[in-house]
């Protein structure tokens, strides 16, 4: 009979330890970033609530849980497990017009979007010098969204990092694509742990990108909820089926020619969603060999 009590105590101790680590990370980050103490703690509390109760809740079918907007179509690297590698055909390069980006944000503000928003898809976001201004606009119009930047970190400096946080970026995921550790990435993760996660490219499982990268020829039959819950817009303004569509072969509409929410709610988009919700991946060529299980992406 003593065991359940011991178990509860261990659970409680683990929870307290987790809370302690969170508070410690927040305080270390606050000291690094500087600024007003009360404002900082209010912001952190708000973003924690958004992340816990809005972004991560299971959105019902057809709600936008996350948005990827590719502000630049360029990347400075050519990783072997990426479409930017020389072995793959080149796609047209360019950057998104500022008015296009702002139109997207304005449209999302009409539904008071409060999910996760990232200013990238395949392109490296820190190549875009407009990023601080774009993120400022985003947070002004969408104060309840959770903004996250995934980057290779090659162009990140402490100054740019602080500037982006001040302009409204909530979190960074930095992937080290080299084999050796980098002093700056260690520094930034130690000094601002609440806002950064640093990982190595070896830490995550490389996805096959619809069977095109590793040629695994997977054939899953699970439903895929990505097109039902994630909005992906490439640098040209094309709303594409999902993040695997590097070449923009499955375009649901272009935000420069039509209304974003009309595109999201279109019959064309629904056609793909309905097939994928039933697990009928083989009916769509890009999905046929996709190895992504297809839950709601965070």
Question: How many residues bind to ligand SF4 according to rule CB under 6 A?
Answer: 24
Distance of closest approach, residue 147 Cβ to ligand SF4, in angstroms: 19
- Contact between 122 and ligand SF4 (CB under 6 A)? yes
Task: State the Cα–Cα distance between residues 189 and 173, nearest whole angstrom.
Answer: 10
- Contact between 135 and ligand SF4 (CB under 6 A)? no
- Contact between 294 and ligand SF4 (CB under 6 A)? yes
Distance of closest approach, residue 139 Cβ to ligand SF4, in angstroms: 24
- Contact between 74 and ligand SF4 (CB under 6 A)? no
Subset of 142-201 contacting ligand SF4 (CB under 6 A): 152, 177
Say how many C-beta atoms besides its own lie within 10 A of residue 70's C-beta: 27
Among 70, 107, 124, 170, binds ligand SF4 (CB under 6 A): 124
- Contact between 226 and ligand SF4 (CB under 6 A)? yes
Segment lying near ligand SF4 (by CB under 6 A), choices 38-46, 58-66, 102-110, 288-296: 288-296
Segment lying near ligand SF4 (by CB under 6 A), choices 16-24, 164-172, 257-265, 281-289: 281-289
Residues 6+ apart with CB under 8 A from 250: 240, 241, 242, 272, 284, 286
Task: State the Cα–Cα distance between residues 62 and 57, nearest whole angstrom.
Answer: 14
- Contact between 77 and ligand SF4 (CB under 6 A)? yes
Among 28, 33, 79, 261, binds ligand SF4 (CB under 6 A): 79
**Residues comprising the chain, all counted:** 298
**Would you give the binding string for ligand SF4 spanning residues 248-267, x where CB under 6 A is met?**
--------------------
Closest to ligand SF4 by CB, 50 vs 287, is 287
Q: Name the site residues for ligand SF4 (rule: CB under 6 A).
A: 75, 77-79, 82, 84, 122, 124, 152, 177, 210, 224, 226-227, 241-242, 244, 276, 281, 286-287, 290, 292, 294
């Amino acid at each position: 009979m003593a065991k359940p009590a011991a178990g509860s105590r261990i659970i409680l101790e683990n929870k307290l330890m987790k809370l302690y680590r969170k508070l410690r990370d927040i305080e270390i980050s606050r000291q690094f970033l500087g600024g007003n103490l009360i404002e900082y703690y209010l912001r952190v509390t708000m973003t924690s609530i958004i992340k816990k109760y809005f972004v991560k809740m299971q959105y019902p079918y057809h709600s936008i849980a996350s948005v990827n907007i590719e502000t630049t179509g360029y990347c400075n690297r050519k990783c072997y497990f990426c479409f930017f590698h020389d072995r793959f055909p080149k796609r047209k390069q360019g950057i998104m017009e500022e008015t296009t980006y702002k139109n997207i944000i304005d449209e999302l503000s009409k539904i008071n979007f409060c999910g996760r928003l990232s200013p990238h898809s395949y392109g490296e976001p820190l190549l875009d010098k407009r990023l601080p201004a774009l993120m400022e606009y985003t947070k002004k119009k969408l104060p309840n969204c959770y903004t996250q930047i995934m980057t290779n970190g090659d162009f990140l400096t402490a100054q740019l990092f602080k500037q982006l946080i001040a302009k409204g970026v909530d979190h960074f995921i930095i992937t080290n694509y080299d084999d050796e550790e980098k002093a700056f990435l260690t520094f930034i993760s130690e000094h601002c742990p609440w806002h950064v996660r640093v990982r190595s490219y070896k830490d995550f499982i490389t996805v096959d990108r619809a069977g095109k990268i590793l040629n695994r020829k997977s054939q899953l039959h699970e439903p895929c909820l990505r097109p039902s819950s994630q909005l992906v817009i490439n640098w040209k303004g094309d709303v594409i089926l999902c993040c695997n569509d590097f070449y923009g072969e499955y375009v649901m509409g272009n935000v420069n020619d039509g209304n974003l929410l009309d595109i999201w709610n279109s019959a064309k988009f629904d056609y793909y969603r309905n097939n994928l919700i039933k697990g009928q991946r083989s009916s769509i060529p890009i999905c046929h060999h996709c190895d992504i299980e297809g839950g709601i992406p965070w």
